[in-house]
Structure 1
């Protein structure tokens, strides 16, 4: 298995988690991003790594950066600006592309670009392989195994707090596109004002007020799940944290550099009179993105995935097997 994986945005908050997880899994990170100084500082801390600075507005520099790698992992938002240039460079180089986009428009943009007739790449392009996007997609895919029709998929994201990174704030300011839900089997604008409800999450979250805030999982699930309705909700306390400019950035509290944040992603699916429910519980939405993303890379490189085309996470991977492979140190999967 080829071992070199380029991480664009390697010196960012999520990028550092991804680099550490690649090293733990025996892969060699190639560190990339805009800042040569930040890359050099990180490279000095990661033995055996290589530094390749590049800007997303310089195709020649991107081509040089991705040359000879087997996969490109993009963790540098806003993905409305970075996803297409990096995906294009990866495809030109014959490398798989993955990112952690929560922005629906960025994900849909890649689906449109590489899903057009004659445009399918010879490698895998898998956007939104992260806490927002990939995790809910995999949970819903596993929960609906065996169903050829789905009446509804409803995702509840419970967070005790949300300490946003600088990247999260910048991405949020950039993301002004109309948010979408699925209604009548089609992507349509989300209702306004956003709906609110009470959601009883599994422990340790419990009951929270949640508000409709569609993330990229709506778009990924719409791509491959035959659902009449797909919607998701976010804890209103977390939304308040992100909107408050005084909320601090996440602070490490354990040996993995995770924050104290606790989350539950709770997915309820319905077909006729049958309901199924599956939930994932863990710590730190940024940290947990690393094992999700790196497990996806490993499966693409060792052949345990669909290796060609633009794909949703649930299309690319065996969802239940993927979830089962994740360490309980990062995620606990519960099927009541």
Structure 2
């Protein structure tokens, strides 16, 4: 209430709201003064989630039934898709968002899903006057923003390496299901074009500093390759992930994340480094934080809030670094969620 005028909060729908990442996203929207519409497949799942009503609107809907999906999106200005595998959910929800005239953002790490969404929905999104940004999670859009910020005024690079260090990876059920579903060949940029990852993946030692120390990393590209290559010209673009994280996720006995603080975050620590080189010069960024799933929530919500708050003129399907000020987005996450250093600029 402002004076005698009731201020209605802006509304953002969340598909997969009862999942691990979805719950973090709903909580982050509330923290920002936005009103979430929590969408899940059943009323029972929504009731079990114990969302605060009426602050959170709870609406059951399925992607297979447009008669339930479109009413579930009613009143929203944007929708965040947290329901993986995105190979199964992105197409239907992005199409519904275009039809409803609302922004669509997802948190997919899946290269085929992100690539298809960018290609298929660019023109429809332009016609609808909305933005479609796939892959806006820890794996994907985060690295795209880091690369964009690292490059600064460089319009191209000879090589870009993205190095992701984790002290562990306790996967959610959704991560495991997505991994089983996504069997597509992983792509990298080599000699200036998207090309299949060479097997066996390259390995090397990398020193992530005091937080994680020296680790063996293996080449493991996610959706950031598709996003970065869409708007950055480079001869080589490669992503490496801690071997310890790969070992954890490949072990079926590794348990799901366990809350280590009142916000529900796990104790997992991450360090992401970007190293760009051009004509003998190099630029570098280092980002540090806690819990890749929990971190995805403020990251994707910051992007969505910018879509809602700004006079947005970049309709279409985009990588975040194409249309947003990468340094501003990353700065907005500091110091609560992120420690960031950009060197040699």
TM-score (ref. length: structure 1): 0.96
Matched, 1:328 2:335: yes
Which of 142, 146, 151 is equivalent to 1:135?
A: 142
The verdict on how the C-alpha distance between 1:2 and 1:91 changes in structure 2, with shifts beyond 3 A counting, is farther
Partner of 1:286: 293
Q: How does 1:217-296 map to 2 (within 5 A)?
A: 217-296=224-303
Partner of 1:151: 158
Structure 1 range deviating more: 324-333 or 10-19: 324-333
Partner of 1:202: 209
Which of 60, 63, 68 is equivalent to 1:53?
A: 60
The verdict on how the C-alpha distance between 1:312 and 1:108 changes in structure 2, with shifts beyond 3 A counting, is same
* SS at structure 1 position matched to 2:139: helix
Measured in 2, the distance between the counterparts of 1:30 and 1:117 equals: 24
> Cα offset for 1:41?
2.8
Partner of 1:22: 29
Which of 38, 48, 52 is equivalent to 2:45?
A: 38
Gaps of 5+ in 2: 1-7
> Cα offset for 1:66?
1.2
* SS at structure 1 position matched to 2:17: coil
* SS at structure 2 position matched to 1:151: strand
> Cα offset for 1:118?
9.3
* Count of paired positions: 336
Q: Provide the alpha-carbon RMSD of the alignment.
A: 1.6
Gaps of 5+ in 1: none
* SS at structure 1 position matched to 2:26: helix
TM-score (ref. length: structure 2): 0.94
Measured in 2, the distance between the counterparts of 1:229 and 1:305 equals: 32
Matched, 1:12 2:19: yes
Which of 72, 75, 88 is equivalent to 2:79?
A: 72
